[in-house]
Chains A and B, each alone.
Chain A
Amino acid sequence: EVQLLESGGGLVQPGGSLRLSCAASGFTFTTYTMTWVRQAPGKGLEWVSAISGTDTRTYYADSVKGRFTISRDNSMNTVYLQMNSLRVEDTALYYCAKSWSPLHAFDLWGQGTMVTVSS
């Protein structure tokens, strides 16, 4: 079955760290760009970061640049998002999604993992 399964969310204090994982199955993982998109409670979608499948080039939103790091392990069919120096405003449901390239549409989404940053 073609699917994406996120994990690693939870409650963390401001300034803390968390690593999200997204396990892929049912497709040739190395071919695709993987992207993290987040949605704060009651708010819209926000693009966070992407990593291409071929040259593993990375891209970041200004709001997370320097704090978040995206990476992928093609042997494990998994993409990660290391989140450091977390802020209250990072509280959101984090989705991973796949696309042919960073410019292409997200044709598959996971169900999301919730990150809550609070003291």
Chain B
Amino acid sequence: QSVLTQPPSASGTPGQRVSISCSGSNSNIGINTVNWYQQLPGTAPKLLIYSNNQRPSGVPDRFSGSKSGTSASLAISGLQSEDEADYYCASWDDSLNGRGVFGGGTKLTVL
């Protein structure tokens, strides 16, 4: 059971806009920033969005992030076949002595 909750799957057709949600609590998303990672099949995760809505250099502006309260969302517009991957949200949880937390991951299928 992951601390952050994501839908296990999402899908869309090329050109569509899809959104992936990430739900947390007051000890993690409620007080810390959210980051998103993309993991293509057979590869290491790659940073997609940091500090809720910032894109690292090289990440297309088709990818965007937002946060409100204890939830966050990743949006992908103009969906492309190469976007088919697993997507994970992550944050820091201030409970206990502090720990990193991930969502369970969302497998995005481009139909």
Q: Does B32 have its Cβ within 8 Å of any Cβ on chain A?
A: yes
**A107-B90 Cα distance, complex, nearest whole Å:** 13
**A59-B104 Cα distance, complex, nearest whole Å:** 21
A103 touches B92 (CB 8 A): yes
B35 touches A47 (CB 8 A): no
Closest A residue by C-beta to B98:
A59
Closest A residue by C-beta to B88:
A45
Number of A-B contacts (CB under 8 A): 64
* Contacts beyond the supplied A60-B99, A106-B45: 20 A-B pairs with Cβ under 8 Å: A44-B2, A44-B103, A44-B104, A45-B88, A45-B90, A45-B102, A45-B105, A46-B102, A47-B99, A47-B100, A50-B100, A59-B98, A61-B100, A95-B45, A103-B33, A105-B90, A106-B47, A107-B47, A109-B44, A109-B46
Q: Say yes or no: A45-B47 contact (C-beta < 8 A), given A50-B100, A59-B98, A106-B35.
A: no
- List B contacts of A95 (CB < 8 A): 44-45
20 contacts between A and B (CB under 8 A): A37-B45, A44-B2, A44-B86, A45-B39, A45-B45, A45-B90, A45-B102, A45-B105, A47-B102, A59-B97, A59-B98, A60-B99, A61-B99, A62-B96, A105-B47, A106-B35, A107-B56, A109-B45, A109-B46, A112-B44
Q: Does A110 have its Cβ within 8 Å of any Cβ on chain B?
A: yes
Q: Does B63 have its Cβ within 8 Å of any Cβ on chain A?
A: no
- List A contacts of B32 (CB < 8 A): 103
Scan B66-106; emit 1 where CB is below 8 A from any A CB, else 0. Answer: 00000000000000000000101010100011111111110
* Smallest CB separation, B85 vs chain A (Å): 13
**A61-B37 Cα distance, complex, nearest whole Å:** 20
* Smallest CB separation, B46 vs chain A (Å): 7
Q: Does A82 have its Cβ within 8 Å of any Cβ on chain B?
A: no
**A45-B90 Cα distance, complex, nearest whole Å:** 10
Partner of A35, one of B2, B100, B103: B100
**A37-B103 Cα distance, complex, nearest whole Å:** 13
Instruction: Name, among A45, A104, A107, A111, the residue most crowded by chain B CB atoms within 10 Å (CB to CB).
Output: A45
